[in-house]
Amino acid sequence: MQYDANAPIWLQVMSSLELDMVTGKRPPGEKLPGGRDLAVQYGINPNTASRVYQELERKGLCETRRGLGTFVTTDGARLEGLRREMAQRAVSQFLSSMDHLGISRTEAARMILEEEKICQT
Amino acid sequence: MSDVTGKAEKNTVPGTLESRDITKTFGGKAAVDRVTLSLEKGHVYAMLGPNGSGKTTWMKMAAGLIKPTSGLILFESQPVSIESRKKVAYMSTEPYFYSWMSVSDVGLYYQDFFEDFSYDRYTVLLKKMELEETMKTTSLSSGMMAKLKIAVTMARDAAVYMLDEPFNGIDLLARDEIRTAILEYATPDKLLLLSSHLVEEMEAIADRAVFLHHGRLVESVSLEEMREERGLSMADRYRQIYGHGEE
């Protein structure tokens, strides 16, 4: 994985794992790699890897069972909340790009519908 | 942080490597100049600075290979000595194998020297680095030689690993292998110190950086904190310190 060295690496690895959870690449209840394995797999410092799990746990997206390891949450509502949150972030990014280009919200919305129509035909 | 006694015999912290006001002069010129620095286990430190900033000299003092002109260098609160060398593994930039040696001879040579050397671990590392035991050291490319040096150093079960320029002259794929080997051995009870000019190679694997300039300590920082609080990468900070944008 390539990292943006200006942004916290734990955040980038966490986002990547969250995306895996939302897309089903790491389904609910699946065991996640141990902290050290995560470090090796992602090429990151082991302390950064621990931070990733601390934050995921804090958000209720994974749970550690003593002696067994860390698992993706089986709480469907949490995962749905995460999907919404990620979609919301994508929308904000899109809108801020549009703002930057000087395109109004109405125009942006019209462009999305237009794109939709083109794709359907 | 709260050192009030100033004595070497305060509470011993396992795996701590520390220099107190350490200076090393060569021919009247200070290669390391009054550096006070404490490194703790459970971290991977990147030691940074241009040529002549004192990285190698500091490491050699910590390895017990050269003596400081003044100041103290301590491992687990005791001055670095023959004893500490049993727990501190150091990889220098100079090649140090005899020309008649094969890759397996290098391992046997280390096994004779260091109690904590494990030939089994050496075999595992050789496989990861794609090196054969029968290879002659004289026939190795510079990249293979660099990997061999790392394999033989990391095959020790030491408390501290100091690798001087582990990525130098090594192609991209071999660098990945080295990075993986380093991460596999970076357990909470180990201290790793890496120096490199290839700053980008160390961004993700190190968690702390030590910047040296003209033999002086500039700062010792947490990389994730620096990213979070200042939006700076290690490379950015490097440019600030050593480039035109000096603060």
Q: Please report the domains of chain B, with CATH numbers, ordered by start residue.
A: 17-242 (3.40.50.300)
The model's pLDDT over B218-230, given as tens digits with 9 standing for 90+, comes to: 999 999 999 999 9
Please give the biggest Cα pair distance in chain B.
55
Cα distances (Å, whole numbers) of residue B41 to A22, B45, B173: 36, 10, 28
CB pairs under 8 A between A and B: 60
What gap in Å lies between CA A72 and CA A91, rounded to an integer?
Answer: 26
A18 alpha-carbon distance from chain centroid = 4
Once rounded to an integer, what is the mean pLDDT over residues A23-38? 96
* B187: contact with A, CB 8 A cutoff: yes
Which residue among A6, A9, A36 sits closest to B204, beta carbon to beta carbon? A9
Supply the pLDDT for residue B11: 61
What gap in Å lies between CA B219 and CA B225, rounded to an integer?
Answer: 14
DSSP alpha helices (H): ranges in chain A? 9-23, 35-42, 46-58, 76-101, 105-120
Q: Which of residues 28-57 of A touch B (CB under 8 A)?
A: 36, 39-40, 42-48, 51
Q: Please, which pLDDT band fits residue B1 given cuts at 50, 70 and 90?
A: very low
Would the CB atoms of A46 and B186 count as touching at under 8 Å? yes
- The verdict on ipTM greater than 0.90 is no
Supply the pLDDT for residue B246: 46
The model's pLDDT over B62-113, given as tens digits with 9 standing for 90+, comes to: 999 999 999 999 999 999 999 999 999 999 998 778 889 999 999 999 999 9
- In sequence order, the 6+-apart residues with CB closer than 8 A to the CB of A63 are A57, A70, A71, A73
